[in-house]
A = this chain, B = another copy of it.
Amino acid sequence: MKKALDFQSIIMTLQDFWAERNCLIWQPYYSQVGAGTMNPATFLRVLGPEPWKVAYVEPSIRPDDGRYGDNPNRLQQFYQFQVILKPDPGNPQEIYLSSLKALGIDPDQHDIRFVEDNWQQPAIGAWGLGWEVWLDGQEITQFTYFQQCGGLDLDPVSVEITYGLERIAMTLQGVRHFKDIRWNPERTYGDVNLMGEREHSTYYFDVADVDRMRAMYNIYEKEAELAIAHGLVLPAHDYVLKTSHTFNILDTRGAVGVTERQELFGRTRDLARRVAETYVAQRRQAEFPWLVEGEVESAAVRQEAPRAITAAKASFLFEVGTEELPPSQLAWALAQLEETVPALLDELRLAHGAIRILGTPRRLVVSVAELATRQPDRSLEVKGPPAGRAFDADGNPTRAAEGFARSKGLDVSDLQVETIDGGEYVVARVDEPGRPAVDVLSEALPDLIAVIRFTKSMRWNESGVAFSRPIRWLLALLDGVVVPFEYAGYQSGRETRGLRFVSPQKFDVASPGEYFEKMEGQGIILDPETRQAAIRQQAEAIAASVGGRIGDDPALLAEVTNMVERPTAFLGEFDPSYVEILPPEALISVMRKHQRYIVVEDEDGNLMPYFIGVRNGGEEHLDLVADGNEQVILARFADARFFVEKDLRRPLADFVPELETLTFQAELGSFLDKTRRIHALVADLAPMLGLTADEQAAAERAAELCKADLATSMVVEMTSLQGIMGRYYAIHSGEPKPVADAIFEHYLPRSADDKLPASKPGLAVGLADRLDSLMGLFAVGLAPTGTKDPFAQRRAALGICQNLIAWERHFDLQEGLALAARVLAVEVSAEDRMACLDFIQGRLRVMLLDMGFNYDVVDAALAARGHDPYGALLAVRSLTDWVSRDEWDEILPAFSRCVRITRDLDEVYEVDSAGLQEASEKALLDAIQKAQAEMGDADTVDAFLTAFVPLVPVINRFFDDVLVMDEDEAVRRNRLALLQQVVALADGAADLSQLEGF
């Protein structure tokens, strides 16, 4: 076996490789940059229409990735190898993969994958779509179709390939830590760079002078502006880079709060944009000297001579070949095709058998069985000119009639007159023969692709077509015949591609049947459901083999399913000590979010030190693949430990002051301000929620600490661990367990199906937090709108309701909001409070409807108990019960009569009992008073209706005996007063007028 390349040879090999492919070999930049993207050879050259191909090494500096040399593969300086291909050469993935081969990476022995990555660099106004390239789970390259840079749209799009050289070297050389990478025959990477890692980490994290860094930032910014003012692109760019690096140092020193971050980012981005604009203007002025006309290479797919199909029915196969689609986008595209394909075939009047919509990351497949090869003939009536114009007064056809007949290939005598929409028109009856399916599909298929929508789409070639990722081939076969069409610069054909690496070359298929055979032959499972089932079955077997089971995680399973064409699950292990050291949520989060590993639990649901990965490919060299993946997770866990150990150097309470730098919202202040408000509010809410003194003490302490973990490194790194780390750090800081639990629980529930707070302190702090957020945001005019809910207020409102209901606590939201308003530093109007309450009730309504209650019952209950979610639920339940009773048909009309006759009155009349003359009047008063007495203070639906039932006959008799609207005003008012008292019995219980049948 050839010896693996050393580090410098990797670089030299890549230089040779790309030089041979006409890339200009460029040099690293003379400024500290976070990535090769910031080198002007990328940042500027991707702008404008001129072609450009370049490759270079870039030692990239990311201060906050410094790990003092301890982490196996995370470094404050690492070496990128950057390639820019502008425009897209048509097969950049294939070229890239051959470069891996040149490096000695045998794709047969590894799992190489293109994993969705929406790359963006806001500091320089740049973004693009593409992938991380994974080598056995390790990200070794970023591959991006660059869409925008310096805030400018890129046309043409550039392909950016960024190799992570250390990781490639580690894999090639089989070493576990960057310091063991052989750099050349004599020295290791550690020999030459370990000291730098230690020193720079120390400098960036612990030493750099913050005031001086700020001063530097300002100087750089001013020089950049000065240079721009003089039209000096490169000098300006240099200073933009310096602001960026200086910002990174400030950030790593922990000196930058959210607000300042946004501000500094904004300033750098603004400068970057002006640099970009100046550059483009400069090149335009020079008339884009590198622009060469007529260099377009067309995607050469030979076009077959059209062949006729004789069979009446044929199999139809349509494949859109793509570069790896993101899992979610694949799912969505398939869902859309499920809708559009049948509709299209109907529209095209093509009879068909079963339709199957299939897909993998590299292909969208439509398979139609027994498709009619020709439309049926049909007869159409075609409306011509009005009869009055088609025939003259003598009934002879005019020239208009003749012309119309001729245009339809008929004789005038064939025209008929019919009444259409009340007018008389000449009508031609035309027999339209059905067209061949090939023809109509040729016309329709482009649109079938074009209508697919994606969350985010991109351009890649000069067709300007947008898609989730580049389309690279189009296959359309009706039996053995190609359905010819063109889309996105590609001609449809019979060519397809198999599983990458196993079958990297294009190949032809003669027919749909052969297509499916060949796909199956390569192990590609086209049907996502089948694929998912296979993965589940494999994973379960593997988990069982180590005495465990897989966690229930359908979303992950669906994602993994859509990341592979040929799934093969494998088992990985990790050091069990991590289970001791780190919270399981952190471990799971790392495995799930970063690596899409399926976690393994024991019978009690405890995390086991295993994971299950799913490669794209077969069983070959699975040990190598598993080993590579284990290295990845090792480094990631080491990194998590780095953060946790750093955070644990101080008690959690120490992080509270740092919340001042984290802005919650501009007008509402920092998270420190918010913490203070929550703390104050918890003291008010505790009695309302029935907390004991101990519970209240725990709640108040938890309120002080509940947001502290937002300032810890681990949460900064992985926001999803907020609360989890807070609890963990609280325990390690010696806080009582109830306090620690409340810190975690105050975030619960985090999603619709999440668990709920298990303790009253958790409930109280969460309620305070949510009331504060909602009331505050409404007060500053930030109520969520249709699509926008950046502060997740819907979730907050729902959380309030879920928790109060689960805890069966009555709670007056009006009072809660008033208390929240009191501690806010902004002014809160009565309208704000009302709007906020309405918003919460809106969520509550959705929730109750989701529980299956009828909308009328829900509305009836909410109208009276909307301020008290638990009370509302009780009312809804109760009312639902009453409504279903037989006597309801009596009850509701009786009450309804009382309501209807009184609801338009402007005032509440007094009952003058002395003025009551009729017995039924007196009886009603008696009955009312009895009901009132029976209800006492109760305002539940049950209490009201139970008390009301006896009133029903009395009310009915009253209406039978007396005319309420008596001419005598006193009499009339007295009767109305009685009815008003009846209606008032329902106050606070429900608004029965909302019910059906009222």
Alpha-carbon separation in the docked complex, A33 to B185 (Å): 28
In-complex Cβ contact of A222 among B29, B186, B195, B212 (8 A): B212
B31 touches A11 (CB 8 A): no
Question: Does A291 sit at the interface, judged by CB under 8 A?
Answer: no
B232 touches A202 (CB 8 A): yes
Question: Does A363 sit at the interface, judged by CB under 8 A?
Answer: no
- Shortest CB distance A256–B (Å): 18
In-complex Cβ contact of A223 among B16, B41, B212, B227 (8 A): B212
B223 touches A24 (CB 8 A): no
Alpha-carbon separation in the docked complex, A192 to B56 (Å): 14
Say whether, besides A16-B12, A19-B8, A185-B22, A27 and B212 are in contact (CB < 8 Å): no
B183 touches A202 (CB 8 A): no
A24 touches B199 (CB 8 A): no
The residues of B that contact A230 with a CB separation of less than 8 Å are 202-203, 207
- Shortest CB distance A166–B (Å): 13
Task: Report the nearest B residue to A16, measured CB to CB.
Answer: B12
Alpha-carbon separation in the docked complex, A208 to B234 (Å): 13
Question: Does A581 sit at the interface, judged by CB under 8 A?
Answer: no
Question: Does A32 sit at the interface, judged by CB under 8 A?
Answer: yes
B22 touches A186 (CB 8 A): yes
Say whether, besides A19-B8, A32-B31, A200 and B234 are in contact (CB < 8 Å): yes
- Copies held by the complex: 2
B195 touches A209 (CB 8 A): no
Task: Report the nearest B residue to A233, measured CB to CB.
Answer: B199
Say whether, besides A209-B223, A209-B226, A199 and B232 are in contact (CB < 8 Å): yes
Question: Does A15 sit at the interface, judged by CB under 8 A?
Answer: yes
In-complex Cβ contact of A216 among B26, B79, B216 (8 A): B216
Task: Report the nearest B residue to A219, measured CB to CB.
Answer: B212
Alpha-carbon separation in the docked complex, A11 to B219 (Å): 36
Question: Does A196 sit at the interface, judged by CB under 8 A?
Answer: yes
Interface bits A135-151 vs B (CB < 8 Å: 1, else 0)? 00000000000000000
**Those of A5-25 within 8 Å (CB) of chain B:** 8-9, 11-12, 15-16, 19, 22-25
Number of interface residues of A (CB under 8 A): 57
A186 touches B216 (CB 8 A): no
Question: Does A502 sit at the interface, judged by CB under 8 A?
Answer: no
The residues of B that contact A195 with a CB separation of less than 8 Å are 233-234, 282
Interface core residue of A11, A16, A233, A235 (most chain B CB under 10 Å): A235
Interface core residue of A11, A24, A187 (most chain B CB under 10 Å): A24
Question: Does A87 sit at the interface, judged by CB under 8 A?
Answer: no
B215 touches A219 (CB 8 A): yes
In-complex Cβ contact of A57 among B24, B27, B196 (8 A): B27
The residues of B that contact A290 with a CB separation of less than 8 Å are 187, 191
Alpha-carbon separation in the docked complex, A41 to B233 (Å): 31
The residues of B that contact A15 with a CB separation of less than 8 Å are 12, 15
B223 touches A208 (CB 8 A): yes
**Those of A23-70 within 8 Å (CB) of chain B:** 23-33, 41, 53, 57, 59, 61
- Shortest CB distance A62–B (Å): 12
A186 touches B24 (CB 8 A): yes
Interface core residue of A8, A41, A282 (most chain B CB under 10 Å): A8
The residues of B that contact A262 with a CB separation of less than 8 Å are none
The residues of B that contact A199 with a CB separation of less than 8 Å are 232-235
Alpha-carbon separation in the docked complex, A185 to B215 (Å): 45
Question: Does A184 sit at the interface, judged by CB under 8 A?
Answer: yes
Alpha-carbon separation in the docked complex, A618 to B209 (Å): 63
Alpha-carbon separation in the docked complex, A191 to B8 (Å): 28
A11 touches B25 (CB 8 A): yes
- Shortest CB distance A706–B (Å): 36
Alpha-carbon separation in the docked complex, A209 to B202 (Å): 32
A184 touches B215 (CB 8 A): no
Task: Report the nearest B residue to A279, measured CB to CB.
Answer: B195
The residues of B that contact A28 with a CB separation of less than 8 Å are 27-28, 30
A196 touches B59 (CB 8 A): no
The residues of B that contact A19 with a CB separation of less than 8 Å are 8-9, 12, 184
- Shortest CB distance A722–B (Å): 33
Task: Report the nearest B residue to A230, measured CB to CB.
Answer: B207
The residues of B that contact A41 with a CB separation of less than 8 Å are 192
B32 touches A30 (CB 8 A): yes
The residues of B that contact A196 with a CB separation of less than 8 Å are 234
In-complex Cβ contact of A24 among B33, B192, B235 (8 A): B192
The residues of B that contact A79 with a CB separation of less than 8 Å are 27
Task: Report the nearest B residue to A206, measured CB to CB.
Answer: B230
The residues of B that contact A200 with a CB separation of less than 8 Å are 232, 234-235
The residues of B that contact A16 with a CB separation of less than 8 Å are 12
Alpha-carbon separation in the docked complex, A15 to B184 (Å): 12
B223 touches A183 (CB 8 A): no
Interface core residue of A16, A22, A184 (most chain B CB under 10 Å): A184
- Shortest CB distance A4–B (Å): 16
- Shortest CB distance A154–B (Å): 19
**Those of A516-541 within 8 Å (CB) of chain B:** none
Interface bits A232-275 vs B (CB < 8 Å: 1, else 0)? 11110000000000000000000000000000000000000000
Alpha-carbon separation in the docked complex, A29 to B219 (Å): 23
B216 touches A24 (CB 8 A): no
The residues of B that contact A235 with a CB separation of less than 8 Å are 199-200, 202-203, 207
- Shortest CB distance A942–B (Å): 74
B222 touches A219 (CB 8 A): no
Alpha-carbon separation in the docked complex, A230 to B234 (Å): 35
In-complex Cβ contact of A184 among B25, B186, B232, B289 (8 A): B25
Alpha-carbon separation in the docked complex, A9 to B12 (Å): 11
Say whether, besides A12-B12, A24-B186, A233-B195, A222 and B203 are in contact (CB < 8 Å): no
The residues of B that contact A8 with a CB separation of less than 8 Å are 19, 24-25
In-complex Cβ contact of A22 among B12, B30, B184, B232 (8 A): B184
- Shortest CB distance A79–B (Å): 7
Task: Report the nearest B residue to A40, measured CB to CB.
Answer: B196
Could you name 26 residue pairs across A and B whose Cβ atoms are closer than 8 Å?
A8-B19, A8-B25, A11-B25, A12-B25, A19-B184, A23-B184, A24-B184, A27-B59, A28-B28, A28-B30, A30-B30, A30-B31, A30-B32, A30-B59, A53-B186, A187-B290, A191-B289, A202-B230, A207-B227, A207-B235, A208-B223, A208-B226, A209-B223, A212-B222, A216-B216, A216-B219
Q: A-B pairs with the 9 shortest C-beta distances?
A: A203-B235, A8-B25, A199-B232, A24-B184, A28-B28, A30-B32, A199-B234, A196-B234, A212-B219
Apart from A22-B184, A30-B33, A212-B223, 4 more pairs, CB < 8 Å = A24-B187, A27-B28, A200-B234, A203-B230
